[in-house]
Amino acid sequence: MAPTTRSARLSRRAFLTAAAALAAPRLIAGSGLRFDGPFGETWLPAPARRVVSLGYTSQDPLLALGIVPLAIRNWYGDQPSATWRWARPLLQGATPPVITGEVSMERVAALAPDLIVGIGAGLSEPEVQLLTRIAPVLMQGADQPAFGSAWQDDTRRIGRATGREARAENAIADVEARFAAARARHPEWKGMTAAAAWHEGGQTGAFMGGDNRARFLSELGFRPTEALTRIAARDGFYTTLSPEDLSPLDADLVVWISAYESAPDMVRLPMRRTLAAHRTGREVFAGELIAGALSFGSVLSLPFALDALEADIAAATDGDPATVVSSAQSAGLTE
Amino acid sequence: MKLAALALLLCAAMALSLMVGFRHLTPEDYLAALTAFDPYDPAHVTLISIRLPRLLAGLIAGSALGVAGSVMQALTRNPLADPGLLGINAGAAFALILGTTLVGTTGAGALALMAFPGAALASVAVFTLGGGLRGDAGPVRLTLAGAALNALLLSLVAGVALVRQDALDVFRFWVAGSLTQADARPLAAMALAAGLGMALALALALKLEAMSLGATLARGLGTRPGQAQAGALVAVTLTTGAAVAVAGPIAFLGLMVPPLARRIAGHRLRGELVAAAMLGAAVLLLADTAGRLILAPGEVRAGIMVALVGGPVFIWIARRLRPGAVA
């Protein structure tokens, strides 16, 4: 009999513990929001209003949901308020200060935020712990990479943290519909190969796999060249090619990504001229602004990039070498 | 005899630089590329637009830095003197970063043309600061003036690079030193500048040797130290400036080649200069060729390869130094 009594007592205790454990989070969940993250859970007592954007690109989803951040982290490009052209009207005339380089905890604390967005900010665990003492820190999902989490996930998380889920879902659906419409307008893109190529400091390479620039092309229906697929399996989402062999780039569409509006080194690169894509007018040029939009890969920048590039990509892939691809021509790539 | 072996080494390095790389070229490719160049054939482009310019840039920069190092070590009587000691690399870097910031980003060719005047201005400044205009620029004064200007210019470079992303982008690719952009660099003009500098160094060799006995004794032997010094600085500026313009700053080459050249050619400056030119070119070409293979398909920059070899050689030189002796 004794074992039974003991187990009964145990189970009663277990039941009570379990009940308590279940009740506690429900109590909190009822009055707040929970998010998983790479360094543990984040808990918000209520949807946030005063937000500091520490992610290199998280200002975009915030602005898309109508929230002007108290301060914005600078990635690159020397833009006013670190906000690029596609997002600037959404600042509604505000000029939030820019946080450049390492994050100053004192500056963040002085802004008295009720949420710090650290998605894609490259924050370390000690930094997050320190920031959490200022305000809850919203990180990317525990299963997402530190950089390059899916833009849909970023937007959705920020939407939930700011109590604007419906607006976030609408924005996501809108961008996805735009890509679907582009795919529908150009069914020929499905199955074509494409490469997002770069050339800098005498070196040439490609963005691949989960990189925002490569993802943009795959969202339009393109697939990478076989050589790039093989390289991506080894190198991840970025590779440098031998200057003596650029053939992995020789796809049905080559989008040259440049941090600058003019790219004289890319233009004069002799090996580029050996690519069939060059000879048959299948190159597109993405300069500072459009390359920036592709690199941000956000709910705001992606439709901007699509609007800017769709006509050029169509001209490059129409099978007629004589069709002018305006971006490639003005950059001098067609010479 | 030793010089002949060195010449053979250089020829081998030149041949390897044309033959070895990621793309395999057949003997027919070489023939066809030279006789019937097709700009759309990757094999032809590899030879004519990549390997040949790299060979020429390696010859120019390597020999120029070897000679510049020898002249610097003779001039300062310091076996650890490097052509960069006179602020030439820092001057080139400063001109480059100023140019990128003011004019905006331009191509590799334009950058190279900014580097050369920057290098020249820096060495004139060092010579002036070191008392060269008064004719009493001793080796210590020159070294100190060079170190001061180096520190000043490099901190200015760092200051600009910190606030200007575009300048930093250009700078960090340039600063490692590489032959990959040889095709876009002004090779002919820089070959001329380096050639003039090397000829001047050879012409001044006897005077520099006399000066190694000390300014007073050199004067007694009929040398005018001020003139010889000024001439030597012009030679160093022309050679180092040309090297920086075609390959960026290649660390360690001007430092490690002269002591090895002295071992090969003996303690005659003329012989040392010839040996240093050949050895410098051979080392840089071999470094560039090895850099193509180590991480293929990616490339390790020649400047980094030279530094990898140069570090240990530098330690070896430093350990063999005896106070008062020239290594």
Query: Which pLDDT score, from 0 to 100, does residue A304 have?
Result: 97
Query: Which pLDDT score, from 0 to 100, does residue A106 have?
Result: 93
Distance from CA of A94 to the nearest CA of B (A): 24
Calpha distance B65→B81 (Å, rounded): 12
Query: Which pLDDT score, from 0 to 100, does residue B71 have?
Result: 92
pLDDT bucket at B137, cuts 50 / 70 / 90: low
Question: How much is the average pLDDT of B150-167?
Answer: 84
Residues of chain B above pLDDT 70, percent: 94
**Minimum CA–CA partner of B109 in chain A:** A265
A242 and B41 within 8 Å at the Cβ level: the answer is no
Q: Which of B45, B96, B174 to probe by mutation at the A interface, max A CB count within 10 Å?
A: B45
Question: How much is the average pLDDT of B6-15?
Answer: 95
- Does the structure show a pLDDT above 80 at A241? yes
Q: In this complex, which of A76, A244, A265 lies closest to B108 when CB atoms are compared?
A: A265
**Minimum CA–CA partner of B178 in chain A:** A202
Query: Which pLDDT score, from 0 to 100, does residue A237 have?
Result: 85
- Does the structure show a pLDDT above 90 at B107? no
Residues of A in contact with B291 (CB under 8 A): none
A51-53, strands of its sheet edge to edge:
A98-99, A71-73, A51-53, A115-117, A137-138
Residues of A in contact with B184 (CB under 8 A): 202, 265, 268
B50 and A264 within 8 Å at the Cβ level: the answer is no
- Does the structure show a pLDDT above 70 at A318? yes
> What value does the mean pLDDT of chain B take?
85
Q: How far apart are the first and last CA of chain A?
A: 94
Q: How do residues B63-95 score in pLDDT, each as one tens digit?
A: 999 999 999 888 877 777 887 777 888 888 888
For residues A124 and A146, the answer to whether their CB atoms sit within 8 Å is no
Higher pLDDT, B195 or B174: B195
Residues of A in contact with B297 (CB under 8 A): 240-242, 245
Query: Which pLDDT score, from 0 to 100, does residue B143 have?
Result: 81
A270 and B45 within 8 Å at the Cβ level: the answer is yes
Is the CB of B19 inside 8 Å of chain A's CB atoms?
no
Q: CB neighbours of B285 closer than 8 A, spacing ≥ 6?
A: B10, B13, B14, B16, B17, B55, B58, B59, B62
Residues of chain A above pLDDT 70, percent: 91
Distance from CA of A200 to the nearest CA of B (A): 8
Query: Which pLDDT score, from 0 to 100, does residue B317 have?
Result: 76
> ipTM score here?
0.81
Residue A100 in tokens: 């450049």
**Minimum CA–CA partner of A275 in chain B:** B40
Higher pLDDT, A332 or A286: A286
pLDDT bucket at A213, cuts 50 / 70 / 90: very high
- Does the structure show a pLDDT above 60 at A21? no
**What kind and span of H or E run contains B247?**
helix B225-247
Q: How do residues A61-103 score in pLDDT, each as one tens digit?
A: 999 999 999 999 999 888 999 999 999 999 999 999 999 888 8
A201 and B170 within 8 Å at the Cβ level: the answer is yes
Q: CB neighbours of B193 closer than 8 A, spacing ≥ 6?
A: B116, B238, B239, B241, B242
Residues of chain B above pLDDT 90, percent: 29
Query: Which pLDDT score, from 0 to 100, does residue A8 have?
Result: 46
Q: In this complex, which of A78, A243, A244 lies closest to B165 when CB atoms are compared?
A: A78
Distance from CA of A135 to the nearest CA of B (A): 30
A270 and B183 within 8 Å at the Cβ level: the answer is yes
Q: How do residues A253-294 score in pLDDT, each as one tens digit?
A: 999 999 888 888 888 899 999 999 999 999 999 999 999 999
Pairing of strands A33-35, A42-44: antiparallel
* Inter-chain contacts counted by CB atoms under 8 A, chains A and B: 88
Residues of chain A above pLDDT 90, percent: 69
Higher pLDDT, B161 or B196: B196
Q: In this complex, which of A77, A245, A270 lies closest to B23 when CB atoms are compared?
A: A245
A240 and B181 within 8 Å at the Cβ level: the answer is no
- Does the structure show a pLDDT above 50 at A26? no
Query: Which pLDDT score, from 0 to 100, does residue B288 have?
Result: 93
For residues A327 and A266, the answer to whether their CB atoms sit within 8 Å is no
Q: Which of A98, A244, A246, A280 to probe by mutation at the B interface, max B CB count within 10 Å?
A: A244
For residues B273 and B238, the answer to whether their CB atoms sit within 8 Å is no
**Minimum CA–CA partner of B180 in chain A:** A202
Higher pLDDT, B133 or B306: B306
- Does the structure show a pLDDT above 80 at A193? yes
Query: Which pLDDT score, from 0 to 100, does residue B161 have?
Result: 81
pLDDT bucket at B117, cuts 50 / 70 / 90: confident
- Does the structure show a pLDDT above 90 at A25? no
Q: How do residues B215-263 score in pLDDT, each as one tens digit?
A: 777 777 777 777 888 888 889 989 998 998 888 888 889 888 998 898 8
- Does the structure show a pLDDT above 80 at B323? no
What is the pTM assigned to this prediction?
0.83
Residue B165 in tokens: 């992303």
Dihedral of CA atoms B222, B227, B229, B233 in degrees, nearest 10, equals: -150
> What value does the mean pLDDT of chain A take?
88
For residues A204 and A254, the answer to whether their CB atoms sit within 8 Å is no
For residues B275 and B7, the answer to whether their CB atoms sit within 8 Å is no
Q: Pick the closest to residue B302 from B292, B312, B316 (CA basis).
A: B292
CA distances, A113 to each of A79, A133, A287, A297 (Å): 23, 11, 35, 26
Residues of A in contact with B48 (CB under 8 A): 270
